[in-house]
Amino acid sequence: MKTRLELKYFQWLICALFLLGILSSLISHAQELSLAAKSYQPNAQFDVKISEAEYRKNSTGRSLIARVYEPQGLGPFPVVIDFHGGAWNNKNRTAEQPMDLALAKSGLLVVAIDLTLAPDRPYPANLQDAHYGIRWLKLNAPRWKGDPSTLGIYASSSGGHVAELIGLKPFDPEYSALVFSEAPNLDAKVRYIVSRAPISDPRARYQNAVNLGREKMINNHYTYFQPWSTIDTANPQYILDRKEKVFLPPLLVMAGEKDDNVLPEIQKRFVDSYQKAGGSAQLKIFADSDHEWVAQEGPQTDLARKTVKDFIATQIKN
């Protein structure tokens, strides 16, 4: 009888120690998250070190590079991944350097990544890069004193299209098709999305290009959306309209009042639909601003940077 009691006591003790270990780990993680969140001050000023690393090689053999903007301080720092624009067909990780640098100077670890361009591989190649890039950064952010649990997205134009699709469907089997063997259990869920002039409705944006007679813009859609039906299946607005099962991370959409590339009314409709679906979404319209206003220094660019930093500070403290 005594032996049985001793055995039960021993089993109970092992279970208790195991649970204590889990609790201790959770507390430690929460403290780290709290430190990264509480220590972020949008008006802070850090020196920034810029470096680069290959995060993957795509099917054409192109090295896809991550450009790292690392605040020089103790950390841990909240983490932002940047998806560049370029109408799916152009640009690279350097496209948003002024914004990336401004965010990093405030104490955010910002990592801008290359995405496969449509002339090399059409949809969904760039989405698969982005999905892989999020998982890669979650694993590697601590190398640069980043806290991966705070990871959110900053994206522009066609990069905003990518960000919205991944935000809505982080577990989509097509988007997640690239195996990340170093950490196969990591997912692509994010804390928030900040999107500047996103192509939230590519069908509406295509029709706007047709209406304006912009042949290059029209052809960018044909190059990327192959087959053509994917302009509707990979359409964030239509996904919400179809009431598909989605995740709804907090969303900030910034649009230029004079943007004739992606019209402000397209952004308004998407934000309204996002809110009706149950998500937290904000739309900020910038006066006298076009599609790429943040590329030029000025009051509206300063306001955009402040808006992004304040939004991020709010989200990581929630």
The domain ranges of the chain are 40-317
Distance CA 129, CA 204 (A): 25
| 69, 51 contact by CB (below 8 A) | no
Task: Tell me whether residue 213 is exposed, middle or buried, using C-beta atoms within 10 angstroms of its C-beta: 0 to 12, 13 to 18, 19 or more.
Answer: exposed
* Residue 136: closest CA among 176, 194, 96, 195: 176
pLDDT by residue for the chain (318 residues), tens only, comes to 445 555 555 565 555 445 455 445 444 444 554 566 678 999 999 999 999 999 999 999 999 999 999 999 999 999 999 999 999 999 999 999 999 999 999 999 999 999 999 999 999 999 999 999 999 999 999 999 999 999 999 999 999 999 999 999 999 999 999 999 999 999 999 999 999 999 999 999 999 999 999 999 999 999 999 999 999 999 999 999 999 999 999 999 999 999 999 999 999 999 999 999 999 999 999 999 999 999 999 999 999 999 999 999 999 998
Contact 202, 80 (CB under 8 A): no
Dihedral-angle region of residue 169 (phi above 0 means left; psi in -120 to 50 means alpha; beta otherwise): beta
**Joined tokens for residue 248:** 């709804």
Q: Is 222 helix (H, G, I), strand (E, B) or coil?
A: helix
Q: Which homologous superfamily is 40-317 in?
A: Alpha/Beta hydrolase fold, catalytic domain (3.40.50.1820)
- Other CB atoms within 10 Å distance of the CB of residue 116: 22
